[in-house]
Chain A
């Protein structure tokens, strides 16, 4: 998308025009400003993206586009116009008509967005009855709407209740409902956050396809810059309730002109960056709170190229091109923003295996039958090594983590060893040494930390539980651990709720490190965090690893993050390891067809070639795995008569790189190179056209 798909004309009325919008939330009786003069337009048929850290006001803006305010929300100034009509002036019934006919929204969490007690069919049909169709017609139209979003068996789905559908399916249902009225404005608020990368890719494909079909203007909110880059024509960068930069996606992402945009882009691992290359950029400080009085330039406190001018004068809008502007005094000094330093110290991975997982299977015994959730998994961790673990939800990643920790007892025959000696399978039977040696960091620090305890108490208890040290000694050790996590003395007497998400995760990491563990298992530790905070946490994890040579099992759906931190990557599917390779080898290929599909699903912020291999259907239940190769039902390289009959062998591509596939590695390599070549040709042709 180097050029605008729909070059706007001056005569066209924008589908959405927000002008100098000011909004406040009333907190404890006082209005606190959250939007401080937001201005942008979305033209008919155009896709406009909004990015920024959480708390910058992007969701508030999205909801304001349909004049949906939180209960304590207050529009204090500015205009919201949809196709020329002023929303703030509409009466209640006009607003309902507008929502029913002209604008729709798709929400972040589809599971919450549909009514749990009503059948899908009724809910979809309601979007049509509200337009004035009879209930018979509405049911018919509902079925067609579900067909349009490619739901197989729409009649069957209409009879079902929300809890019987997966998140991806539900998001399709929500999209079907949103498109019921053929709206002229479609607002998508983080539509794929929380979905698997492969499902995300499918949903985005669907939106892209429907977008061409309906010609609606799209306002897309996403914190994933890759999603914005691949979906949108133009993008606005928001900070503290203001727009700081706006332009076409290519202009903004390839030539960012505001220090904040640069900071955001630098905090994500791009271009195959690894922990051994350099640290990630992390924007220092925090976003101003809502209601804080702002300095002249909103970014002045966190800006690396700040000057006196920035503190004394409000920056003007500086045009960078016809469509690209920034609100910065020094767009020409962007190049001076220093990149994080290269890492001098060598990152050493030891030779000896610290923790080994040998032939570990885990079968859950349920009334309806046995569920083999893990099947003969073999893994080993060397000292100071990170093993990245990827796979869709339901592939068994968390089961593996929990089995290693001793939460689940593995089946007979497997063993988990600590420096060669087998450990007790259950955590309750493990000796202190074993418990101390393997610790966990969870996705959500909110529920992982006792919220009525202070940080000091949380850490002191962890120290004394894990090392047996008590009293003042434990106390000083806790302070020491906290300091290693860059938590200050000030934080020690705070409770979790007083800390930001990033700080809470630091406490959770500190807790895991309290007993000087050999292996730390991290299950999506940064997926709830903003990119800049994520960068800080990843830097911290990498630094700890360099200093104390801890090994990590790092579970994440974000391939870029896994690539940054991992020395080796394991790919899981239905409880089996499909591929295991050193990180560079994983990205050089050849890959297992499943890995190939996973890697291709990642929306790239760099706007690189997109050769998506669709993974159709849902991941099979481990209860009833497909015969032969478990992946054959969704494999794009499926060989009939082989893959559906025989279990594939584990083939060594090169030392340390194994693939569980019937196709020999050299054939896989050739086929994958060819596909890539084909795609490049297609892309080149498209560009020229």
Chain B
């Protein structure tokens, strides 16, 4: 087991190195002169040179790499260009905290509903209920999140003051107020992900329900509830866990449209703004954070799956 985790961590480290190389290269290969973009078209040559230097673009790429790597180990990405005086680290951490709140809230809504929906659809396979769940899910998840977000704004936030147009709560808001402000973005995530997760759960539950061991359990005289709890769930939730694991990274870093619509200062928004303003230090910090989240989310999902499946778990513990 330890060997498995160690190997996975090593591989993740390799991924990180590749990502670092890539984000170091961005300003070097970006169209136009990044320094001019930052300093402005009318900047003096001295100012331009200063910005170029602060970007590290005057150095050879090799040295730039060394700088970026050392900055990672110190967890110090320097200062943001757009907000001078603020360290990238503190900006990223604030955005990360905001994203975490939204993701956790959204998952608390999505997972129980989608899994329950999937289980129910599988149990009532080929009935109107199954078809309703599956078709609703497909319909909802085929609309992009920014469209749903706008629709929610128009249909809910505008007429009802309970729903907030802006998701960012006042600084000293309590948890309930925060939840109220974040409700619409979370509901948007729910509509986007419900169908996806419900369908995955449905498919794997059907496989488990059709399996011979489930038949054995029924033949043993167990009730449907017992069969589900003891025999079906553990087998059927494995793919769901895998999917949630891989989607977690996207939820943190990829919900740009959503965060823009609701003006929510999460990681996606941070990265978007950094790209827009050519704020390279901030961009590096943001992308790296999302990459690390991806890494740990998939690793966590893999470990969870291994734990759920004794075959994988035992072969791991034998190897480690």
- Which residue of B is nearest A99, CB measured? B221
Residue pair B213, A66 in contact (C-beta under 8 Å): no
Cβ-defined partner of A116 (8 Å) among B215, B219, B310: B310
Residue pair B231, A113 in contact (C-beta under 8 Å): no
Q: How many A-B residue pairs have CB under 8 A?
A: 69
Q: Is A171 part of the contact surface with B, judged by Cβ < 8 Å?
A: no
- Residues in chain B near residue A174, CB distance under 8 A: 216
Annotate B305-320 by CB proximity to A: 1 below 8 A, 0 otherwise: 0001111001000000
Q: Is B70 part of the contact surface with A, judged by Cβ < 8 Å?
A: no
Annotate B4-26 by CB proximity to A: 1 below 8 A, 0 otherwise: 00000000000000000000000
Cβ-defined partner of B212 (8 Å) among A98, A104, A109, A126: A109
Annotate B206-241 by CB proximity to A: 1 below 8 A, 0 otherwise: 000001110111111111000000110011000000
Residue pair A107, B308 in contact (C-beta under 8 Å): no
- Given A68-B215, A161-B310, A115 and B231 touching (CB < 8 A)? yes
Residue pair A126, B311 in contact (C-beta under 8 Å): no
In the complex the two chains form, what is the Cα distance from A256 to B290 in whole Å? 75
- Residues in chain A near residue B310, CB distance under 8 A: 116-117, 119, 161, 163
Residue pair A68, B234 in contact (C-beta under 8 Å): no
Residue pair A117, B221 in contact (C-beta under 8 Å): no
In the complex the two chains form, what is the Cα distance from A100 to B220 in whole Å? 5
In the complex the two chains form, what is the Cα distance from A116 to B217 in whole Å? 13
Residue pair B213, A126 in contact (C-beta under 8 Å): no
Residue pair B216, A117 in contact (C-beta under 8 Å): no
- Residues in chain B near residue A161, CB distance under 8 A: 310-311, 314
Q: Is A105 part of the contact surface with B, judged by Cβ < 8 Å?
A: yes
- Which residue of B is nearest A119, CB measured? B310
- Which residue of B is nearest A104, CB measured? B219
- Residues in chain B near residue A163, CB distance under 8 A: 310-311
- Given A118-B231, A161-B314, A113 and B216 touching (CB < 8 A)? yes
- Which residue of B is nearest A112, CB measured? B212
Give the number of chain A interface residues (Cβ < 8 Å): 29
User: Is the contact region of chain B dominated by helix, strand, or loop, or is it mixed?
Assistant: helix
In the complex the two chains form, what is the Cα distance from A174 to B230 in whole Å? 17
- Residues in chain A near residue B212, CB distance under 8 A: 107, 109, 112-113
Residue pair B222, A117 in contact (C-beta under 8 Å): no
CB distance from B290 to the nearest CB of A (A): 33
CB distance from B37 to the nearest CB of A (A): 54
- Residues in chain A near residue B234, CB distance under 8 A: 117-118
- Residues in chain B near residue A96, CB distance under 8 A: 221-223
CB distance from A104 to the nearest CB of B (A): 7
Cβ-defined partner of A126 (8 Å) among B125, B220, B223, B308: B220
- Given A97-B221, A126-B220, A126-B222, A117 and B211 touching (CB < 8 A)? no
- Residues in chain B near residue A101, CB distance under 8 A: 221
Residue pair B220, A127 in contact (C-beta under 8 Å): yes
In the complex the two chains form, what is the Cα distance from A672 to B229 in whole Å? 56
Annotate A121-134 by CB proximity to B: 1 below 8 A, 0 otherwise: 00000110010000
Cβ-defined partner of B219 (8 Å) among A66, A112, A164: A66
- Which residue of A is nearest B224, CB measured? A92
- Which residue of B is nearest A164, CB measured? B314
Residue pair A126, B314 in contact (C-beta under 8 Å): no
Q: Is A114 part of the contact surface with B, judged by Cβ < 8 Å?
A: yes
CB distance from A416 to the nearest CB of B (A): 34
Residue pair B220, A130 in contact (C-beta under 8 Å): yes
- Residues in chain B near residue A113, CB distance under 8 A: 212-213, 215-216
A residues 292-313 with Cβ under 8 Å of B? Answer: none
- Residues in chain A near residue B222, CB distance under 8 A: 96, 126, 130
B residues 121-151 with Cβ under 8 Å of A? Answer: 125
Annotate A58-78 by CB proximity to B: 1 below 8 A, 0 otherwise: 000000001010010000000
Residue pair A117, B218 in contact (C-beta under 8 Å): no
Annotate A84-107 by CB proximity to B: 1 below 8 A, 0 otherwise: 000000000000111111001101
Residue pair B235, A116 in contact (C-beta under 8 Å): yes
- Residues in chain B near residue A100, CB distance under 8 A: 220-221
- Residues in chain A near residue B308, CB distance under 8 A: 117
Residue pair A112, B221 in contact (C-beta under 8 Å): no
Q: Is A520 part of the contact surface with B, judged by Cβ < 8 Å?
A: no
CB distance from A194 to the nearest CB of B (A): 13
CB distance from B55 to the nearest CB of A (A): 49
CB distance from B282 to the nearest CB of A (A): 45
Q: Is A177 part of the contact surface with B, judged by Cβ < 8 Å?
A: yes
CB distance from B220 to the nearest CB of A (A): 6
- Residues in chain A near residue B311, CB distance under 8 A: 116, 161, 163
Residue pair A117, B235 in contact (C-beta under 8 Å): yes
- Residues in chain B near residue A118, CB distance under 8 A: 230-231, 234
- Which residue of A is nearest B214, CB measured? A115
Residue pair A112, B213 in contact (C-beta under 8 Å): yes
Residue pair A105, B231 in contact (C-beta under 8 Å): no
Pairs of residues from A and B, 4 with the lowest C-beta to C-beta distance, nearest first: A100-B221, A112-B212, A99-B221, A115-B213
**15 A-B pairs, CB-CB below 8 angstroms?**
A71-B125, A100-B221, A114-B213, A114-B216, A116-B213, A116-B309, A117-B308, A118-B230, A118-B234, A126-B230, A127-B220, A161-B310, A174-B216, A177-B216, A177-B220
